[in-house]
Structure 1
């Protein structure tokens, strides 16, 4: 399974917003400029996060995006689902219905052992991401790279108009 780059962009953006002072918003253009990303595409990811209630946006000269919930209440799975959607990674097409001895009355999405194994893997992956919050990730980064929060806020400030 391969996730879109939007997931990476969204996770980094949320992490960066977690270091902003309370009530401070950052424009999408600044978030994009921080990593040299296309602003229009990052804005689509931020809008998806806003629809999911992960970030909120305000308009106007001091507007932009900020976390809508505390980092402790945002899981990595929340961000992935906001960007990629809730669908399972594996989609059973009921291939067994086309094979020899197929029974048209059987729901092979449930009976197929391949589909079951893939569903178990998907659930394990989702459980792992649901068990890790943005706060956990933030703490890991701060432990490994203690200067990152201050550097992030200073870099945003250095971008005009922050």
Structure 2
């Protein structure tokens, strides 16, 4: 299982929106320029985030995006699901029912597929973990791992671009 790089771009960009004043949304042009990614690509990601209710779009010359919820209410899983969709990682094709005994002997399957049950359980544990990690948590973690000057320069970049 692999999530697209769109999830990473989304999480990074959402962190930039946390400290931005409510009345100063950040535009896609500024976000894409800062990240070094095309506006078109980032627009597609933000369209999905908007549809999921994670961000809201502010129209106009000084428009852009802002968080629709508090950072405490937005989990990693919310972002992953918005960008990637809710398709399960493991997709059981119920191949056991095509096995020799079922096919040739007329046996009927009596139990759920154990492999599918294990995979679904593992996926749910991962979802639970990702639901526990919020944008607020991420922002606090970044304060500990990114040098203070870089965090300040990032905030200045976006406050300058919204003036």
TM-score by length of 1: 0.90
- 1:115-126 equivalences under 5 Å are 115-126=116-127
Partner-residue secondary structure (3-state), 2:57: strand
Equivalent residue, structure 1, for 2:149: 147
Equivalent residue, structure 2, for 1:15: 15
Distance 2:36 2:116 in 1: 40
Distance 1:152 1:123 in 2: 35
Deviation at 1:126, TM superposition (A): 0.2
Distance 1:107 1:63 in 2: 58
Deviation at 1:16, TM superposition (A): 1.0
Deviation at 1:150, TM superposition (A): 2.1
> Given the superposition, is the C-alpha separation of residues 57 and 98 from structure 1 closer, same or farther in structure 2, using an over 3 Å criterion?
same
RMSD: 1.9
Structure 2 gaps, min length 5: none
Equivalent residue, structure 2, for 1:128: 129
Is 2:44 the counterpart of 1:44?
A: yes
> Given the superposition, is the C-alpha separation of residues 100 and 68 from structure 1 closer, same or farther in structure 2, using an over 3 Å criterion?
same
Residues 141 and 148 in structure 1, CA contact (< 8 A), matched pair in contact too = no
Residues 26 and 65 in structure 2, CA contact (< 8 A), matched pair in contact too = yes
Residues 142 and 149 in structure 1, CA contact (< 8 A), matched pair in contact too = yes
Distance 1:127 1:105 in 2: 35
Distance 1:133 1:148 in 2: 22
Distance 2:110 2:43 in 1: 41
Equivalent residue, structure 2, for 1:156: 158
Report Cα offsets for 1:114-153 as digits up to 9, x if no partner: 1111111100110000011110010000122233442212
Aligned length: 159
The one of the two structures with greater contact order (alpha-carbon pairs below 8 A, sep at least 6) is: 2
Distance 2:24 2:133 in 1: 25
Deviation at 1:13, TM superposition (A): 0.7
Partner-residue secondary structure (3-state), 2:92: coil
TM-score by length of 2: 0.89
